């Protein structure tokens, strides 16, 4: 059965305001499933016109622009620009060509200052003269090509040159006569291993078969074509792009063939790039981007869509490059860099900015249903839309008189087809609409206050039909209705204080299971089960004391899988019902779900459950418990899905609706990205001194440091441009860490006081699908011991110790001889005084025993006195409770423990109502007795090992509840309040005539960014609200928690 949508993780937010849903911006289809991601000055690019692109062997992306060279790692840019005061900086700011050689150096061609070589580890540039006697080269280097044998080919406005081994002198290559007057102005280069070198110039195409030979012209059949790009195909085909003359193909030894497709839109080609899927990408100066399918010859044109967020931003394409993981990088003029993931996505996106038949009238999808004819009905924030995918039809469904249209134009939270073929639409504030699609007729059922048998409420969230053909309608605030088709009347089932009444009046989901039980999910009361025999309801609700109860009472959706297992989606996680024990097994964030706010469930053909929530979709295998998560980076409509906007198509397609449209997919086509990120350790700092980049390249991964350099900070990066924000890291310092330390998205770590020894710092990373690069990157470290711990020093110390021992032995031997002589002299005297000494020894032992007994007794007395003083210093003398000093120590310890383990901490502030009047009328003795009785009452209720009751001051008390959520804290505060009132102590100064107290509570999960004082302040603020609201009540921060809140 079908149910509608929901909102936030709080129960009341499962009816989010419609304005919030409508505020979601449209996303672009970007060319029928392709999405362009723009990266420009806002992300740190030094200039918005991209001239060339290179992805190096380490995985970094290098972008040349009209103002500097940029390195992109997926998180941010490092810009290299010319500095007149630094001879090792970039020679000129306009970069027009890039290449990487076999050693990992980056070669940089500039527009006005020739050629540079960049060491990417140190960031230092070396300027390479191209001719003349001056050290600063001149001329534009517009094309670079690094061969595998170490030869660097250099194309400039002066012609073609090469540098053998990357280190020798630059040698010019001469064209065959007759050459163009003024020399060849080279624009592009291409060479396949073992093949000829192809050279594009402003006046045509040239070929060099022998590196030591001469350039030969290749006729393209058009006069003096400006060759802008040359690339090769896997089959040896050479593709040549020209400015104004279009595209040419050279295959084998045949003549060039002009193959410019008419659908390209422009013959002014600026860039070419073959992909790994059998296509050739073509960039133009005025018509955007196109892809030529090399097998079929078909062309897919992708024009600029600058107004669409995920569209191509510019018609003027200046550079193309294919990176790892099938990512096409597109350089544009004035709009920066664009990323296009060619892998595409198995997730199809229906939304307001899409082209037909995937265009929706609104992005907020509140419900979805596939009828018996295979037509898809989508409930939107402004009506319902019918999509016939087989015929490519998508249209908004509108019919009937104005009164019917008014209901059809309302937000549609439920769509359901009954066994008679009628469609039932549940609307927000528009009643229930019955649609006959065949006759195009509609009837609206509305709430009539004067008619007790009318619809219970005009907002309908769920519609379902049982096996007897009864139609059940779930409403907001009106409970559950049973519709009598014969009379058109409704029979109401509303919530009561206990079964057999309904558990809540806002019904979000209705489903009859295979045993005949009707499951009713409510936003404010958990699940109600209707017995088909008695018609009464039993409840399945959340119990804080029972881990096998429903995880949350705000139900968003119900689902029964192929095995008959019931699943309940709630604001507190997904619940699996065990019929035998009538208990639930919960799936929450701690089990692998990204969010506890679960909004929908569907099952695929393999028996896996697809779970929608507020952080994307998750695939749960019920047999193993394995969970795989997906989010917007995988192509979903967004990370937030609406409650119960779920449908399963007859062909196995699953549909999930959210705040930015509808996601459709075949689960069998959803696969993990197998390519892990490359990993690079980018920085090693000793205290505040950078060490890693300043080392020679050969030693960059083996460091030797003195023992004083024992404070080490590492930075690292995973290079996977598919979804860099989803990369996760783990590191270990072998010799210190026993196992890997998983640090999430954090890309840095620090070690202090590292002792001398040999270490290896290793980093690994996984991509957004959890595939790890187990090799990662490593830096080997040796921290040298101080000189006094070296082997030579230890040997010297050992030798000195031996000599010292020998000297001591000799000295001791001589001393013993002297002592023996003296002993013999006094031996007689010793014998004479032996008796006296023995007697003195006996007396001394008796005295020593007595003295030890006295010391032991006195020590015990002092210890007991110290314990009494310590207790008095931490205890309130009047009430016997902990004083503020003890409270501060206790809450500080619990705050740090909560920060470490992520457990909630609650604080309750209590204040005796009208206590001054009590003292004034009954006297301070009575007031003291009142304080003692209330203190005893509070202590009797907060008696767990992790609880503490303290006297805050005067008539105020404070209660600390460790690992206690707000709901439990409020329940405890309410019991305390009732117990105090139940003492029945007369209070002539109180309107109630007896002593009462007010309570304020606050709860949070402690974090390092704040202290516990803010929590106490929040509880004190809630106490103030309780006082202001009339006293003798419990309040929590922002609401009166003693009054049940409406949850939906």
Q: pLDDT of 152-169, one tens digit each?
A: 999 998 889 988 875 667
pLDDT of residue 774: 96
| Residue 182 pLDDT > 60 | no
Question: Which helix (H) or strand (E) is 80 found in, with range?
Answer: strand 77-80
Cβ atoms of residues 445 and 467 within 8 Å = no
What per-residue confidence (pLDDT) applies to 1043?
Answer: 32
Quote the CA–CA distance of 220 and 249 in Å, as a whole number. 9
Range name among 217-226, 791-800, 920-929 with the lowest pLDDT average: 791-800
Q: What is the pLDDT of residues 652-667, one digit of tens each?
A: 999 999 999 999 999 9
pLDDT, position 864: 73
Q: Is 19 exposed, middle or buried (0-12, 13-18, 19+ CB in 10 A)?
A: exposed
Task: Name the CA dihedral angle for 23, 26, 27, 28, rounded to a multiple of 10 degrees.
Answer: -170
List, edge to edge, every strand of the sheet that includes 2-3.
Answer: 2-3, 460-465, 471-475, 480-484, 489-493
Distance in angstroms (rounded) separating the CA atoms of residues 1017 and 1009: 16
Q: Please give the Cα distance from 550 to 522 (Å, whole number).
A: 12
CB atoms within 10 A of CB 334: 14
Give residue 390's pLDDT: 73
For the cut 60, the answer to whether the pLDDT of residue 683 exceeds it is yes
Cβ–Cβ under 8 Å, residues 342 and 328: yes
Residue 10 has what pLDDT? 42
Q: Where do we find the tokens 């030894």?
A: 253
Q: 884-901 and 1012-1028 are packed helices; what angle lies between their axes, rounded to 10 degrees?
A: 110
Tokens of 421: 């073929």
Which residue's structure tokens are 């023995």? 838
pLDDT band, very low/low/confident/very high, at 134 (cuts 50, 70, 90): very low
For the chain, domains (ranges, CATH) are 40-348 (2.130.10.10), 678-781 (2.60.40.10), 791-871 (no CATH), 879-1036 (3.30.70.270)
Structure token digits, residue 802: 């031996």
Phi, psi (rounded to 5 degrees) for 225: -70, 140
Residue 476 DSSP label = S
The number of beta carbons lying within 10 Å of the beta carbon of residue 229 is: 24
Comparing CA positions, the residue from 5, 910, 936, 873 lying closest to residue 378 is: 5
pLDDT at 837 > cutoff 90: no
For 492-547, give the DSSP string.
Answer: EE-B-SSTTSBS-S-EEEEEE-TTSPEEEEESSS-EEEE-TTT--EEEE---TT-T
User: 868 falls in which pLDDT band (50, 70, 90)?
Assistant: low
Range 273-295 average pLDDT: 94
Lowest-confidence region among 504-513, 625-634, 797-806, 855-864 = 855-864
pLDDT for 384 equals 94
- pLDDT of 695 > 60? The answer is no
pLDDT tier, 561 (very low <50, low <70, confident <90, very high otherwise): very high
How deeply is 629 buried, as exposed, middle or buried, from its count of CB atoms within 10 A (0-12, 13-18, 19+)? buried
pLDDT at 124 over 60: yes
Token digits of residue 233:
């195909």
Burial class (CB in 10 A: 0-12, 13-18, 19+), 233: middle
Q: Which residues contact 989 (CB under 8 A, 6 or more apart)?
A: 914, 917, 918, 920, 921
**Percent of the chain at pLDDT exceeding 70:** 92
Helix (H, G, I), strand (E, B) or coil at 90: coil
What gap in Å lies between CA 537 and CA 579, rounded to an integer? 16
In the Cβ-directed half-sphere of 534, how many Cα atoms lie within 13 Å?
A: 9
What's the rounded Cα separation, in Å, for the pair 857 and 851?
Answer: 10
pLDDT above 70 (res 112): yes
If one compares 7 and 1005, the residue with the highest pLDDT of the two is 1005
Kindly state the average pLDDT of the residues 219-227: 92
Q: Please report the pLDDT score of residue 9 as a whole number.
A: 40
DSSP-assigned states of every residue in 46-62: S-S-EEEEEE-TTS-EE
| pLDDT recorded at residue 1040 | 38
DSSP letters for 610-644 = EEEETTEEEEE-TTT--EEEE-GGGT-S-S-EEEE
CA distance 1007 to 997: 31
Residue 593 vs residue 693, higher pLDDT: 593
Q: Supply the pLDDT for residue 850.
A: 79
Token pair 């290079």 is at which residue?
719
- Write out pLDDT tens, residues 737-765: 999 999 999 999 999 999 999 999 999 99
Instruction: Supply the pLDDT for residue 33.
Output: 60
At residue 41 the predicted structure's pLDDT band, cuts being 50, 70 and 90, is very high
pLDDT at 197: 93
How do residues 321-373 score in pLDDT, each as one tens digit? 999 989 999 999 999 999 999 987 899 999 887 666 678 999 999 999 999 99
Q: What is the mean pLDDT of residues 250-263?
A: 84
What are the structure tokens assigned to 1032, written together?
């003798």
Does the pLDDT at position 594 exceed 70?
yes
Rounded to an integer, the average pLDDT of 828-851 is 76
Predicted pLDDT of residue 396: 81
Residues 6 or more apart in contact with residue 776 via CB below 8 angstroms? 679, 762, 763, 764, 765
- Please give the mean pLDDT across all residues of the chain: 89
Per-residue pLDDT band for 18 (boundaries 50, 70, 90) equals very low
pLDDT at 52 over 70: yes
Q: Residue 21 pLDDT more than 60?
A: no
Residue 12 dihedral angles phi and psi, to the nearest 5°: -65, -20
| Per-residue pLDDT at 78 | 96
Q: What percent of the chain is modeled with pLDDT above 90?
A: 70
SS3 867: helix
Is residue 650's pLDDT more than 90? yes
Distance separating alpha carbons of residues 758 and 404, to the nearest angstrom: 80
What pLDDT score was predicted for residue 356?
Answer: 61
What is d(CA 408, CA 403) in angstroms, rounded to the nearest whole number? Answer: 9
Which residues partner with 56 through β-bridges?
none
Strand positions, DSSP E, 666-711: 678-686, 689-690, 702-705
Burial of 586 (0-12, 13-18, 19+ CB in 10 A): buried
Band of the pLDDT at 869, cuts 50, 70, 90? low
| Residue 35: predicted pLDDT | 82
pLDDT band at 1048 (very low <50, low <70, confident <90, very high): very low
Express each pLDDT in 950-982 by its tens digit: 999 889 999 999 999 999 999 999 999 999 999
| Of 1039 and 386, the one with more pLDDT | 386
616/351: higher pLDDT = 616
Residue 150 has pLDDT above 90, yes or no: no
Q: Answer yes or no: is pLDDT of 582 > 90.
A: yes
* Residue 19, pLDDT score: 32
- 684 pLDDT more than 60: yes
Q: Residue 866: pLDDT band by 50, 70, 90 thresholds?
A: low
Residue 585 has phi, psi (to 5 degrees) of -105, 120
Q: Which of 46-60, 757-771, 861-875 has the lowest mean pLDDT?
A: 861-875
Residues sharing a CB contact under 8 Å with residue 417, sequence separation 6 or more, in sequence order:
369, 371, 372, 423, 424
Q: What number of other Cβ atoms are within 10 A of residue 958's Cβ?
A: 24
Question: With contact defined as beta carbons under 8 Å apart, do 350 and 667 qualify?
Answer: no
């Amino acid at each position: 059965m079908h149910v509608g949508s929901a909102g936030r993780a709080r129960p009341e937010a499962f009816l989010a305001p419609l304005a919030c849903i409508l505020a979601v911006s449209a996303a672009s289809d970007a060319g029928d499933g392709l999405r362009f991601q723009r990266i420009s000055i806002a992300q740190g690019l030094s200039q918005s016109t991209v001239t060339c692109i290179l992805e190096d062997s380490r995985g970094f992306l290098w972008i040349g622009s009209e103002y500097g060279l940029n390195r992109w790692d997926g998180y941010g840019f490092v810009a290299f620009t010319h500095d007149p005061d630094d001879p090792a900086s970039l020679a000129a700011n306009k970069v027009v060509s890039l290449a990487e050689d076999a050693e990992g150096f980056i070669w940089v061609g500039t527009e006005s200052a020739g050629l540079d070589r960049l060491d990417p580890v140190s960031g230092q540039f070396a300027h390479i003269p191209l001719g003349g006697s001056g050290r600063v080269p001149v001329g534009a280097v517009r094309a670079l090509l690094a061969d595998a044998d170490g030869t660097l080919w250099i194309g400039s406005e002066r012609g073609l040159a090469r540098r053998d081994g990357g280190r020798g002198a630059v040698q010019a290559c001469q064209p065959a006569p007759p050459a163009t007057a003024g020399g060849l102005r080279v624009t592009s280069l291409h060479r396949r291993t073992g093949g000829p070198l192809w050279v594009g110039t402003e006046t045509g195409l040239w070929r060099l078969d022998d590196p030591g030979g001469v350039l030969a012209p290749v006729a393209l059949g058009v006069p003096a074509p400006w060759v802008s790009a040359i690339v090769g195909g896997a089959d040896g085909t050479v593709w040549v792009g020209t400015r104004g003359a279009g595209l040419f193909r050279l295959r084998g030894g045949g003549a060039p063939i002009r193959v410019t497709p008419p659908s390209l839109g422009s013959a002014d080609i600026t860039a070419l790039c073959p992909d790994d899927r059998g296509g050739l990408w073509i960039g133009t100066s005025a018509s955007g981007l196109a892809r030529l399918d090399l097998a079929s010859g078909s062309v897919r044109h992708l024009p600029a869509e600058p107004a669409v967020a995920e569209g191509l931003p510019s018609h003027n394409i200046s550079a193309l490059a294919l990176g790892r993981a099938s990512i096409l990088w597109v350089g544009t003029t004035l709009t920066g860099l664009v990323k296009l993931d060619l892998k595409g996505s198995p997730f199809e996106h229906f939304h307001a900015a899409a082209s037909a038949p995937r265009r929706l009238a609104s992005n907020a999808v509140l419900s979805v249903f596939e009828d018996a004819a295979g037509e898809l009905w989508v409930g939107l924030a402004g009506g319902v839309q019918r999509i016939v995918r087989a015929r490519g039809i998508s249209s908004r469904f509108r019919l009937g008189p104005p009164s019917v249209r008014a209901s059809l134009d309302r937000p549609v939270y439920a769509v359901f087809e009954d066994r008679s073929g009628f469609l039932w639409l549940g609307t927000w504030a528009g009643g229930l609409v019955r649609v006959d699609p065949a006759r195009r007729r509609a009837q609206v059922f509305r709430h009539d206050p004067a008619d007790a048998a009318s619809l219970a409420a005009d907002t309908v969230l769920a519609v379902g039909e049982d096996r007897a053909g009864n139609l059940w309608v779930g409403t907001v605030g009106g409970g559950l209705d049973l519709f009598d088709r014969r009379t058109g009347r409704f029979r109401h089932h509303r919530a009561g204080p206990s079964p057999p009444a309904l558990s809540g009046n806002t019904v979000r989901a209705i489903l009859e299971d295979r045993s005949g039980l009707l499951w009713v999910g409510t936003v404010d009361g958990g699940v109600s089960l209707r017995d088909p025999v008695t018609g009464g309801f039993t409840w399945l609700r959340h119990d804080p004391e029972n881990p096998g109860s429903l995880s949350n009472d705000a139900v968003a959706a119900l689902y029964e899988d192929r095995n008959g297992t019931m699943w309940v989606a709630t604001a507190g996680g997904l619940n699996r019902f065990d019929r035998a024990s009538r208990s639930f097994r919960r799936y929450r964030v701690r089990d692998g779900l990204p969010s506890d706010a679960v909004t929908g469930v569907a099952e695929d053909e393999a028996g896996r459950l697809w779970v929608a929530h507020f952080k994307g979709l998750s695939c749960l295998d019920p047999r193993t418990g394995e969970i795989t998560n997906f989010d917007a980076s995988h192509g979903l409509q967004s990370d937030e899905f609406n409650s119960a906007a779920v449908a399963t198509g007859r062909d196995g397609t699953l549909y999930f609706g959210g705040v930015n449209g509808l996601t459709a997919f075949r689960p069998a086509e959803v696969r993990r990205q197998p390519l892990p990120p490359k990993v690079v350790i980018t920085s090693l700092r000793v205290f505040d001194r950078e060490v890693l980049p300043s080392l020679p390249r050969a030693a960059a991964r083996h460091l030797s440091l003195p023992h004083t350099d024992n404070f080490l900070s590492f930075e690292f990066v995973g290079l996977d441009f598919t979804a860099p924000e989803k990369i996760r890291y783990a590191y270990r310092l072998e010799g210190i860490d026993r196992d890997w330390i998983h640090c999430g998205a954090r890309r840095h770590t620090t070690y202090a006081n590292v002792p001398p020894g040999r270490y290896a710092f290793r980093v690994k990373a996984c991509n957004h699908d959890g595939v790890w690069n187990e090799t990662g990157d490593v830096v080997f470290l040796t921290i040298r011991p101080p000189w006094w711990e070296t082997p030579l020093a230890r040997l010297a110390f050992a030798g000195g110790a031996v000599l010292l021992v020998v000297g001591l032995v000799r000295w001791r031997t001589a001393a013993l001889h002297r002592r023996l002589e003296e002993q013999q002299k006094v031996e007689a005297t010793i014998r004479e005084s032996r008796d006296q000494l023995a007697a003195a020894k006996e007396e001394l032992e008796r005295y020593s025993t007595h003295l030890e007994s006295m010391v032991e007794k006195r020590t015990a007395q002092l210890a007991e006195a110290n314990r009494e003083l310590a207790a008095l210093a931490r205890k309130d003398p009047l009430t016997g409770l902990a004083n503020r000093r003890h409270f501060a120590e206790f809450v500080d310890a619990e705050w740090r423990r909560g920060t470490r383990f992520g457990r909630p901490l609650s604080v309750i502030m209590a204040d005796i109502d009208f206590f001054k009047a009590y003292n004034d009328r009954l006297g301070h003795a009575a007031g003291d007795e009142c304080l003692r009785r209330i203190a005893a009452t509070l202590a009797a209720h907060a008696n767990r090992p992790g609880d503490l009751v303290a006297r805050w001051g005067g008539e105020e008390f404070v209660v600390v509840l460790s690992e206690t959520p707000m709901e439990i804290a409020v329940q405890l505060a309410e019991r305390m309040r009732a117990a105090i009132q139940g003492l029945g102590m007369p209070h002539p100064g109180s309107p109630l005539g007896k002593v009462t107290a007010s309570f304020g509570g606050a709860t949070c999960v402690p974090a390092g960014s704040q202290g516990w004082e803010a929590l106490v302040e929040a509880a004190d603020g809630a106490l103030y609200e309780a006082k202001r609201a009339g006293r003798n009540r419990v309040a929590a921060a922002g609401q009166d928690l003693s009054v049940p809140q409406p949850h939906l």
